[in-house]
């Protein structure tokens, strides 16, 4: 199964989330850089940082190394963190948005719609079952299909190779978590606070860039308070 890839474009993502029931007080905003000046202009509060990055052999190698290390050493992961496994090709943009919203339901009051229904149905499930449920969530699938064709670039065919991947960074119980549906589990990147989420997530993004210095195709957006 393959979907059209979602563009890393706040206009596209906002329309997608609004159609799924996200209230207007929240929006996806551009993040133009990792330095303190660029992060300072991002609307606050910022609930999540979403990164689009090159998905290549370097990513796959580090992913395996990271997972093996965590399996050996262990990590702290709260029971109530919402993590969804990715089984659908090109669904990573939608999954990053779901991760961003689902782990901030203490602040986001979703309106009735496809996303609220999906979360109500999937929160009691494990990450694997959540991923399976998404494969049959027709409301989300059809909304994704409609919105994915509205970006600034021509949408590829669902089966075309797309060498980019979305992940989300969220705060949970005093720690920064990277949520990547293609990894085996959430990745704990150490302590953070809601106020410092963007700055601490930016440090992890820099590590991604340093591991792949020849590829500059990184894009960042954040789920934030709306500015109007």
Selection from 196, 194, 223 nearest residue 101 by Cα: 223
Question: What is the structure's pLDDT at 149?
Answer: 77
Rounded to whole angstroms, the Cα distance separating 112 from 164 reads 32
Question: What is the structure's pLDDT at 151?
Answer: 55
pLDDT of 221 above 90: yes
Span 97-115, mean pLDDT?
Answer: 96
pLDDT, averaged across the chain = 90
Please give the DSSP secondary-structure letter assigned to residue 150. Answer: G
Partners of 165 in the β-ladder: 53
Span 113-119, mean pLDDT?
Answer: 97
Q: Is 138 helix (H, G, I), strand (E, B) or coil?
A: helix
- Tell me the HSE value of 153 on the side-chain side, using a 13 A CA sphere: 9
Beta strands in the chain (DSSP E): 26-31, 46-54, 164-172, 175-179, 187-191, 219-225
pLDDT of 56 above 90: no
Instruction: Please tell me the least confidently modeled range out of 16-20, 61-65, 93-97, 208-212.
Output: 208-212
Percent above pLDDT 90 for the chain: 75
Tokens of 184: 């085996």
Span 97-109, mean pLDDT?
Answer: 97
Determine the Cα angle at 185 with ends 161 and 163, to 5°. 15
pTM comes to 0.93
Percent above pLDDT 70 for the chain: 93
pLDDT in tens, 192-208: 999 999 999 999 999 98
pLDDT in tens, 38-47: 999 999 999 9
16/161: higher pLDDT? 16
Strands 46-54 and 175-179: unpaired
Rounded to whole angstroms, the Cα distance separating 14 from 37 reads 24
Residues with a known catalytic role: 92, 165
Rounded to whole angstroms, the Cα distance separating 76 from 133 reads 26
pLDDT of 219 above 80: yes
Give the Å distances, CA to CA, from 118 to 59, 135, 165.
Answer: 30, 11, 22
Question: What is the structure's pLDDT at 216?
Answer: 65
Residues with Cβ < 8 Å from 175, sequence gap 6 or more?
Answer: 76, 188, 189, 190, 191, 192
Rounded to whole angstroms, the Cα distance separating 122 from 131 reads 9
Span 95-122, mean pLDDT?
Answer: 97
* Fold category of 10-225 in CATH: Ubiquitin C-terminal Hydrolase UCH-l3 (3.40.532)
pLDDT of 81 above 90: yes
Rounded to whole angstroms, the Cα distance separating 74 from 147 reads 39
pLDDT in tens, 144-190: 888 877 754 444 444 444 578 899 999 999 999 999 999 999 999 99
| Sequence spans of domains, the chain | 10-225
């Amino acid at each position: 199964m393959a979907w059209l890839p979602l563009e890393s474009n706040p206009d596209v993502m906002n329309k997608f989330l609004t159609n799924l029931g996200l209230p207007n007080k929240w929006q996806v905003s551009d993040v133009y850089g990792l330095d303190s000046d660029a992060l300072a202009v991002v609307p606050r509060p910022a609930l999540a940082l979403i990164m689009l990055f090159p998905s290549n052999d370097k990513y796959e190698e580090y992913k395996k190394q990271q997972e093996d290390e965590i399996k050996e050493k262990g990590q702290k992961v709260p029971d109530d963190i919402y993590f969804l496994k990715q089984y659908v090709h090109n669904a990573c943009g939608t999954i990053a948005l779901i991760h961003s919203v689902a782990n901030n339901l203490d602040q986001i009051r979703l309106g009735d719609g496809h996303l609220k229904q999906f979360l109500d149905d999937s929160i009691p499930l494990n990450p694997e079952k959540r991923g399976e449920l998404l494969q049959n969530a027709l409301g989300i699938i059809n909304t994704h299909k409609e919105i994915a064709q509205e970006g600034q670039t021509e949408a590829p065919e669902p089966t075309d190779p797309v060498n980019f991947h979305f992940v989300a960074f969220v705060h949970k119980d005093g720690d920064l978590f990277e949520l990547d549906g293609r990894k085996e589990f959430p990745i704990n990147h150490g302590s953070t606070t809601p106020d410092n989420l963007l700055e601490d997530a930016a440090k992890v993004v820099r590590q991604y860039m340093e591991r792949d210095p020849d590829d500059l195709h990184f894009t960042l957006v954040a789920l934030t308070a709306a500015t109007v």
